[in-house]
Amino acid sequence: MNENSRIIELKGIGEKTAELFARAGVRTVGDLIRYYPRSYEIFEDPVPIAEVCEGWVCTVSGAVFGRIQVSGNRNMQVTTLYLKDLTGTLKVIWFRMPFLRTTLGKGGALTLRGRVMRKRDGLVMEHPEIYYPSSKYEEKKDSMQPVYTLTAGLTNNAVVKAVRQALECVNARQDILPESLAAKYDFMPYEAAVKKMHFPENKGEFLEARKRFVFEEFLIFTLSLRRLKDREDRAGNTFELRDCPEIDRFLEELPYSLTGAQRKVWNEIRSDMQGDFIMSRLVQGDVGSGKTVVAFLALLLAGLNRYQGALMAPTEVLARQHYENISAMLEEHHIPLQAELLTGSMTAKQKREAYERIESGEASIVIGTHALIQEKVSYRDLALVVTDEQHRFGVKQREALAGKGKMPHILVMSATPIPRTLAIILYGDLDISVIDEMPKNRLPIKNCVVDTGYRKTAYNFMKKQVEDGRQCYVICPMVEESEALEAENVLDYSEMLSEIMGDSVRVGCLHGRMKQQEKDEIMESFGKNEIQILVSTTVVEVGIDVPNATVIMIENAERFGLAQLHQLRGRVGRGKYQSYCIFMTGSKSDETKERLDILNHSNDGFFIAGEDLRLRGPGDLFGIRQSGIMNFKLGDVFQDSVILKQAAEAAGEMLGKDPELRNPEYTRLSSALERYITDQNLEATL
């Protein structure tokens, strides 16, 4: 058996289990070896009962106090006991486990590990794991158990067993890093690193192993980016784009003046589009800094010169909102251009008619989702593609969009403030512009950082805002309850909040596991104020503008990076009303207090991104939240910024000495690079 063997060749894996693994993207033994845990459960010393806190997953030891009771009906029996130690007593409950009354009623020391929740009658540990007798816990103490991402029907134990078998196939020949690089950065040997990624004996081992693979991931990424940049550098500008009086008139008629930063960026874009080479430019700007107006000016420049411009949005609901806003501006300012909407959910007839208007050139500005790049879409003369950071374009995709071989200008819009040093590495194929000034008429968001005891007050405040006609967001880190994570979950939370708010307030629920159409319908209902409070995971980071939303409460705020919290906060403060952000945290650590205090006192995304970079270190790795920038498997551009810079330097040195990576030492790396570009379809997505 080797890395290319099908997973079904492992012992204990039949057709059905193989299908479950396939749903998780694991089809071969090699896939399984690289299917790293999403977090680890760390078995630490039991804590005194008097010191347990709401939201903790912890271990307690003691003796059963009083009688063990079983209540509820046949479908949902609840077993309740009270665990007592020298410092206090803790209520513990299990669901559908009535037999525990007999098993645990024999006396003796008992060790339990689970999540502590606050109920009406105080703190309760829910459905914990049982270690009886307590000596069984000693066998696990100080160990780290991997927790894998699962699909319905696939258990963590099944993945652990399969991974242990797969690791027997690991050998040094699979290592893609050149020996010289591994030695330079003193990386753990490949075979040991793979094993320690899955089954580390301690945190130090895990950090050493992870560092190696994060470096590898960043190295492949930066090498592929440089390779594509080298190909694109030669593209000349074939479009004649002259200044248009209609654009000056539009700017004069606006009810506000562009900020100095907006004017500077617009001049950079115009200069690029009128220059000798095709534009490849990233515009970075905080939420609400006015990137959309700058993008609209670029689309006008293309359209008024008898070319076409395309604007791609990540969701249909956002594409529709862009279309309505742009159509309204064209009409209001009497600009003789036609906008066209093209999305996947349109009927065949609607699409056919849209295709005709695009091909004839009747549609000057085309707005849509991925439907814009389907084979059936033929542009008459596409000069500009405006996209966001989720949809970046390479050579093949530009050619497909252009239709006749002409390379269009590319403008990438990013609301994620990234420190310039990182942006240069991550967007190495793009020139960078920054809108670092907010419009004067925008009210700053009022922030507060509170503990969980503030919830009732927060709910009353939200109810008052809804009574005044406003809307609210509540953000939770999780979709469903998990025994491994101490976090509020969206499904239970929305039900609970509906009960608290009453029939007059409609509470909606949104999460990443929903189908796109479902998400769009929920966001559209929220946009129309048919839903007053939206309980969501971080999928709302990319959502429509809802100027009427004035409150966002972020549960378990300590679980997110600062940059992501700032992005989430940007969902409010988009209208004329005063807006508020409530950061709710169950953590009492000084580190959490310092991090959240930065958000409490600053609305400046670039300052916050810099602080995020400073504060997030390799110690903050368990239950890690991705920063949301790029889709790396392991790496996080803020947390691993030092490794990212090392990988970028290494890529530069290697290509400087050997541009084609032909040295025998690079053979495996070069093959991995080609696979990465093919697998990720990088020429289409970068």
**41-91 residue pLDDT tens:** 888 889 999 988 877 788 999 999 989 999 988 778 899 999 999 999 999
Same domain, 453 and 379: no
- Domain membership flag for residue 298: yes
Cα–Cα distance between 460 and 588 in angstroms, integer?
24
Question: What pLDDT was estimated at residue 220?
Answer: 92
Question: Roughly how many angstroms between the first and final C-alpha of the chain, as a whole number?
Answer: 35
- Domain membership flag for residue 278: yes
- Sorted by sequence, the CB contacts under 8 Å of residue 659 that are 6+ apart come out as 230
* The domain boundary residue, chosen from 435, 467, 486: 435
Same domain, 377 and 259: yes
Cα–Cα distance between 671 and 288 in angstroms, integer?
43
- Domain membership flag for residue 221: no
Instruction: Band the pLDDT of 543: cuts 50, 70, 90.
Output: low
Which among 224, 279, 554, 543 has a CA at the least distance from the CA of 390? Answer: 543
- Its pTM stands at 0.71
- Sorted by sequence, the CB contacts under 8 Å of residue 186 that are 6+ apart come out as none
Cα–Cα distance between 606 and 289 in angstroms, integer?
12
Question: What pLDDT was estimated at residue 323?
Answer: 94
| CATH number of the structural domain spanning residue 521 | 3.40.50.300
- Domain membership flag for residue 440: no
Same domain, 473 and 506: yes
- Domain membership flag for residue 232: no
- Domain membership flag for residue 456: yes
Angle at 78 between CA 73 and CA 82, to 5 degrees: 145
Question: What pLDDT was estimated at residue 56?
Answer: 79
Domain count for the chain, please give it. 4
Same domain, 455 and 566: yes
Q: Which amino acid is at 187?
A: F
Q: Is the pLDDT of residue 626 over 70?
A: no
- 3-state secondary structure string across 351-414: HHHHHHHHHHCCCCEEEECHHHHCCCCCCCCEEEEEEECCCCCCHHHHHHHHCCCCCCEEEEEE
Same domain, 1 and 123: no
Same domain, 73 and 32: no
Q: Which domain holds residue 9?
A: 1-39+155-169
Same domain, 253 and 375: yes
Tokens encoding 447: 């922030």
Q: Is the peptide bond before 200 cis (omega within 30 degrees of 0)?
A: no
Q: Which amino acid is at 326?
A: I
Instruction: Band the pLDDT of 623: cuts 50, 70, 90.
Output: very low
- Domain membership flag for residue 584: yes
Instruction: Band the pLDDT of 316: cuts 50, 70, 90.
Output: confident
For range 201-211, the mean pLDDT = 90
Cα–Cα distance between 582 and 553 in angstroms, integer?
5
| CATH number of the structural domain spanning residue 79 | 2.40.50.140
Same domain, 404 and 550: no
- Least confident span in 85-99, 198-212, 390-404: 390-404
Which among 646, 647, 628, 648 has a CA at the least distance from the CA of 638? Answer: 628
Same domain, 35 and 59: no
For range 140-159, the mean pLDDT = 86
- Least confident span in 402-411, 504-513, 537-546, 620-629: 620-629
- Domain membership flag for residue 295: yes
Which among 270, 278, 233 has a CA at the least distance from the CA of 401? Answer: 278
> In which residue are the tokens 């289990």 written?
17
Q: Which amino acid is at 570?
A: G
Same domain, 405 and 522: no
Q: Which amino acid is at 123?
A: L
491 CB burial (10 A radius; 0-12, 13-18, 19+): middle
**540 touches 630 (CB < 8 A):** no
Same domain, 21 and 121: no
| CATH number of the structural domain spanning residue 3 | 1.10.150
* The domain boundary residue, chosen from 405, 435, 465: 435
Same domain, 14 and 96: no
Cα 159 to Cα 35, 222, 359, 621, distances in angstroms:
9, 31, 51, 21
* The domain boundary residue, chosen from 602, 624, 647: 602
